[in-house]
Amino acid sequence: MTSPINNDSQQDTPPVMNERKTGWRAIQIKTPGSNNNGNNKKEKKSESQEEKKESSNENNQQQQGEEGNEQQKEDDNDKEEPNNNELSMVLSALRGTVASQKSTTRENPLPISTTTNHQQSFEEEPSSPLPTSTTTRNARADKIIAAAEAARDEAENKGYHILDNIDVEAANNGFIDDDEEDDEQTKKKKEQQQNTSEPTTPIPAQFSPQQELTKMEKHRIELPADKNMADYVTPPTPGTPPPSDPAYSEQLQQAQTPKTPTSPSPTPSKTIEEIDRTIKANTLSPREQEKYDKTMLDGMEAFFNNQFEEAETLFKSKADEDPLYSLGLGAMSFIKALSTSDPENAEKATTQLTATYEFANGQILAASAKKPLKDTVSHYITNLIGNNSTGLPTNTPPLPSEYMKGRPMFITNGALRAHVIKAECCLLMAMLYLTQETVVGYLKAGLNLRRAYNSYSLVWQEYKKMGQEFNRYLDKDTISAIQFGIGSVHILLSSLPTKILKIVSAFGWKADKHLGFALLKLCMDGQRIRSPLASMMLLSYYVTLMSYCPQVLTRELLEPSIEILLNAQQIFPNSALFLYYAGRISRLSRNIPLSTQSFMYTYQVSQGALWAEHGMGYLATHEMSFNCVIELDWASAALRTMELQDKYGSPAFNKYFYGVCMEMLGNRSEAILSFAEATTLFINTPKKKRTQIEQFIEHRIQFFEKSGYQDMDYVLPGFEVCYLWNMFSCMQPNRLESCLEQIETTLNVIYKREKEEYQVRTLELMPTLPPPNYYDQRAILLLCKANILSCLGQSSDAIAHLNWIVDHKDRIHYSKWILPYAYWESGVISWYMGELKRARALWTSALTHSGYDFEYRLAIQLNLAINHAIEMGVPDSPSLKVSESQTTNNGRKRLPVTNPHPIHAAATAQG
């Protein structure tokens, strides 16, 4: 199929169909300045109205004339600068969306009204103790807040600058909600803004710990800006790695290739004298280093202001002289690899980061700044026999003031700077390997994460010794790098499930995401080289969590993500990177037109620069194809995907996704050809190296080929993609109703087919035709239907469908992922209905399944939901397992019902 030719007026937009031909539909996207004609019509109407009123009232005429002139001036200003600040326009509309959702939430606090019994059953246990982790975290938060208050009082006397004033009384009460501080006029203005439907995140039953911990999550722990962080927080030491599976080590050894060294050797073959001849030690003082790094700071500002070529030129100017500038090139390659999802770009980024690692390591060796053996042994013993599960070196006190008056012997600033650069290279490589979603990738990520944290731990130890005189011995960018690195490691590890952590096998302690938030917040507010990277890290964290668990976490995390975007918009008003995140957040808030507009801006500002056009431009086009699917515009989604073939992302997924769109449009012959081509794109890849998406595509196409594509009338592959990528939660109610109608039609087709085949068995003795077996097809359709009903707030109607899946699990042979996802969906419905304990138990039961498609993706999803329940204080309960003896009256296995409820009784009767 050939791509259509664009009109001249749309050269700056991604290619789309402009006319409706053979079922294709155009996408109407509002661009800046597109409403000028509408404004002119409004002005003409206002002028005609003024002429009519002129004879009746002259005073009103003058007032209306003045208002018309003011409006015309504003319109003229908009015409002069149509693209001046795209991100601010998107954020203003997004804030209006959130404000309207708040008002809707106050009017409808619960999505369903049948939760009274569940609330009572859950509230009958007021004396049940909260989990130990929650109590520990509250005590830890109180200590840190008290220390921050003391530091604030001391800083006020000495003239220090503190980031924010912390209201301890408010903190102890769960913090003051922003909504309570708004004036009535502000509330009225918010309610008058753009109105869109609220996200489908349920508000659980009334439970006091939820309100307290949720507000504490919004107001993260603040640390003093000009004080030594080591006096208030104690990140964990690297410790000893937990034992890993020997089979994983064998896979890692087999995957090692000389082209892409994933774990650069910390001890090169060259001697220190040989390295000293090629790489000189950095002897600059902290203040001299800050002046020298001004070019690096300018390069980062140019990069996030869409001046990509200028940023690359600045980084290259000193890349051969300083490892930090080489790291700037590595960061550009890292972002390009993430935005393009291209294995070749990932390999180039790994090569650049590895070279920077060796460069920084050479500076360390040249300065002879290695970690003392005594400290290594001490850290090992501390983690082995101690209980430091949330704290960096605890055995390193600040040096006494008498000693600080002299000239204490610290590791030089240049050597510590090289250590954090080396650690940051490993951190970025670990993130690249995590995105591969393979066992080998997780193993490589674990090696790099541990190597990174070892270097961060060494620098933290020296930083803690310096006490409050740290500014004399460290430059500001090195301190910012410590905040960025340790904070990123903690929020990264806190989001990984146990299944992946066992493979990663990097640390023996549990990450503290609140510590990660606090450190990244300090880094972001410091306005140094890594500040925009810290903003990106936090935005990536929030967007990823909301994308994995939109029905559980969207409502809580939406406002913090918008707050970070607002801070970034003040410094980088037109950044393509932050516009991309604005599009993702708009989609999660169900504002698809605003999301598409954000992605369109991202595409436009990335044009002209080869690096951004191939990275951000294609990424924005890919996201707009998903928005087309959410709008059920399969034609435009197929067209955009076809344009991305061999340019962005996985070629196999692009080809499969194009075939899915063709099938949803009724063009089955084109769909079958696309499915056949998709399998050839990864046939030469070993099975162990295939991604989760490629494994899913292979299994689905094999399932279609089992019947020779004769059973395609009984499947809706487009809705399968919508479910697995959590797109139903982003749809408007009218779109969800359309999906329900199509699912019901397909279920009726299956029912008629089964009836016909059973009819044959009543007329013919021992027919050659096997009994009807459409359990996989029906189960997937019912799973999608249950998710749609949950998004519509009709959770009780989904119970019977999920029970049918569990009842017939032994007959679902090909799609093994259906059952664990059914447990996930059952947990979401229990969450909606206020049964928080049951929801957590169902999610825990889903983790016991293994060996299915998207296993690690669902594990992340389940881990995030379970951790959220733990933070809310939901007590643990035994996982729900169906035993052989648990049957219904008619002999079918069912999930045990711990809390009898009329809805469950009705579902049992229907089953």
- Of 692, 723, 837, the closest CA to residue 791 belongs to 723
Q: Are 460 and 393 in contact (CB under 8 A)?
A: yes
Sign of torsion over alpha carbons 613, 615, 616, 621: positive
Question: Residues 194, 196, 198, CA angle at the centre, nearest 5°?
Answer: 130
pLDDT tens track for 815-832? 999 999 999 999 999 998
pLDDT for residue 372: 53
Residue 233 has pLDDT above 80, yes or no: no
**Mean pLDDT confidence for 779-790:** 97
Q: What is the mean pLDDT of residues 113-132?
A: 34
235-244, 407-416, 559-568, 867-876: the lowest-pLDDT one? 235-244
Q: Which pLDDT score, from 0 to 100, does residue 842 have?
A: 95
pLDDT of residue 318: 93
pLDDT band at 266 (very low <50, low <70, confident <90, very high): very low
Name, of 272-286, 391-405, 890-904, the range with top average pLDDT: 272-286
Q: What pLDDT was estimated at residue 786?
A: 97
- Which of 19-23, 431-435, 658-662, 870-874 has the highest average model confidence (pLDDT)? 658-662
Poorest-pLDDT segment among 153-167, 231-245, 722-736? 153-167
pLDDT of residue 15 exceeding 80, the answer is no
Distance CA 178, CA 180 (A): 5
Is pLDDT above 60 for 650?
A: yes
Q: What is the mean pLDDT of residues 166-193?
A: 39
Please give the mean pLDDT across all residues of the chain.
74
Confidence of residue 150 (pLDDT cuts 50, 70, 90): low
Maximum mean pLDDT: which of 330-344, 501-515, 591-605:
591-605
pLDDT at position 158 is 43
Task: Count CB atoms within 10 A of the CB of residue 233.
Answer: 21
How is residue 62 written in tokens? Answer: 């003058």
Question: What share of the chain has pLDDT > 70, as a percent?
Answer: 62
**Residues 84, 21: Cα–Cα separation, whole Å:** 36
Residue labelled with tokens 């890849």: 685
What pLDDT is attached to residue 146?
56
Pairwise CA distance, residues 332 & 339, whole Å = 11
pLDDT at 207: 34
- Does residue 746 register a pLDDT over 90? yes
Mean pLDDT across the stretch 777-798?
95
Q: Are 225 and 525 in contact (CB under 8 A)?
A: yes
Q: What integer pLDDT is reported at residue 90 of this predicted model?
A: 74
Task: State yes or no: pLDDT of 694 exceeds 60.
Answer: yes
Residue 780 C-alpha from the chain's centroid: 26
Least confident of 246-250, 417-421, 725-729: 246-250
Q: Is the pLDDT assigned to residue 45 strictly greater than 70? A: no
853: confidence class by pLDDT, cuts 50, 70, 90:
very high
Query: Between residues 339 and 226, which one has the greater pLDDT?
Result: 339
8 A C-beta contact, residue 305 and residue 313: no
Q: Which residue has the higher pLDDT, 23 or 62?
A: 62
State residue 244's pLDDT score: 53
- Count Cβ neighbours within 10 Å for each residue of 710-741 and write b for 16 or more, e otherwise: ebbebbbbbbbbbbbebbbbbbeeebbeebbe
- Residues 85 and 582 sit within 8 Å (Cβ to Cβ): no
Question: Looking at the chain, how many residues does it have?
Answer: 911
Model confidence band, residue 615 (pLDDT cutoffs 50, 70, 90) = confident
Helix, strand, or coil (residue 125): coil
**3-class state of residue 80 by DSSP:** helix
User: Concatenated DSSP letters for 16-76?
Assistant: ---S--TT--------TTTTHHHHHHHHHHHHHHHHHHHTT-HHHHHHHHHHHHHHHHHHH
Under 8 Å between Cβ of 144 and 233 = yes
Distance CA 392, CA 381 (A): 13
- CA atoms of 265 and 445, how far apart (whole Å): 15
User: In which band, very low, low, confident or very high, does the pLDDT at 512 lie, cut at 50, 70 and 90?
Assistant: confident
Task: Quote the CA–CA distance of 789 and 784 in Å, as a whole number.
Answer: 9
Distance CA 326, CA 362 (A): 13
Output the CA torsion sign for 739, 741, 747, 750. negative
Q: Closest Cα partner for 520 from 473, 475, 567?
A: 567
Nearest partner of 432 among 303, 511, 499, 344, judged by Cα: 344
Confidence of residue 4 (pLDDT cuts 50, 70, 90): very low
Q: Does residue 269 or residue 375 have the better pLDDT?
A: 375
d(CA 58, CA 54): 6
Lowest-confidence segment of 47-56, 308-317, 836-845, 891-900 by average pLDDT = 891-900
- Among residues 799, 769, 803, 818, the alpha carbon closest in space to that of 887 is found at 803
The reported pLDDT for the residue numbered 317 is 93
- Find the helix or strand (DSSP H, E) in which 522 lies: helix 513-525
Question: Sorting pLDDT into bands at 50, 70 and 90, what band is 241?
Answer: low
Cβ(364)–Cβ(415) below 8 Å: yes
- The Cα–Cα gap between 847 and 485 comes to 30
Task: Assess contact for 485 and 511: CB atoms under 8 A.
Answer: no
Task: Check residue 783 and give its pLDDT.
Answer: 97
pLDDT at 803 over 50: yes
Q: Find residue 887's DSSP bridge partners.
A: 893
Checking if the pLDDT of 625 tops 70, the result is yes
Whole-angstrom distance, CA of residue 539 vs CA of residue 476: 23
The answer to whether residue 631 scores a pLDDT higher than 80 is yes
Compute the chain's Rg from CA coordinates. Answer: 29
Q: Is the pLDDT of residue 878 over 70?
A: no
**pLDDT score of 36 more than 80:** no
Domain ranges of the chain: 92-218, 236-511, 691-910
More confident residue, 583 or 99: 583
Is residue 269 over pLDDT 50?
Answer: no
Which of 243-247, 252-256, 350-354, 465-469 has the highest mean predicted lDDT (pLDDT)?
A: 350-354
Pairwise pLDDT comparison (32 vs 730), residue with the higher score: 730
pLDDT of residue 861: 94
For residues 62-79, give the mean pLDDT. 47
Q: Pick the more confident residue, 260 or 323.
A: 323
3-state DSSP assignment of residue 14: coil
pLDDT of 199 over the 80 cut = no
Q: Quick one: pLDDT at residue 61?
A: 47
pLDDT for position 857: 93
Residue 225 is predicted with a pLDDT of 66
- What's the sign of the alpha-carbon dihedral 42, 43, 46, 47? negative
887 three-state secondary structure: strand
Q: 45-54, 313-322, 677-686: lowest mean pLDDT where? A: 45-54
Mean pLDDT is lowest, of 111-120, 378-387, 782-791, for 111-120
Confidence of residue 367 (pLDDT cuts 50, 70, 90): confident
- Check residue 389 and report its DSSP letter: S
Q: Nearest CA to 272 among 400, 401, 367?
A: 367
Are the C-beta atoms of residues 501 and 519 closer than 8 Å to each other?
A: no
Q: Report whether 328 contacts 296 (CB < 8 A).
A: yes
Q: Are 249 and 438 spatial neighbours (Cβ–Cβ below 8 Å)?
A: no
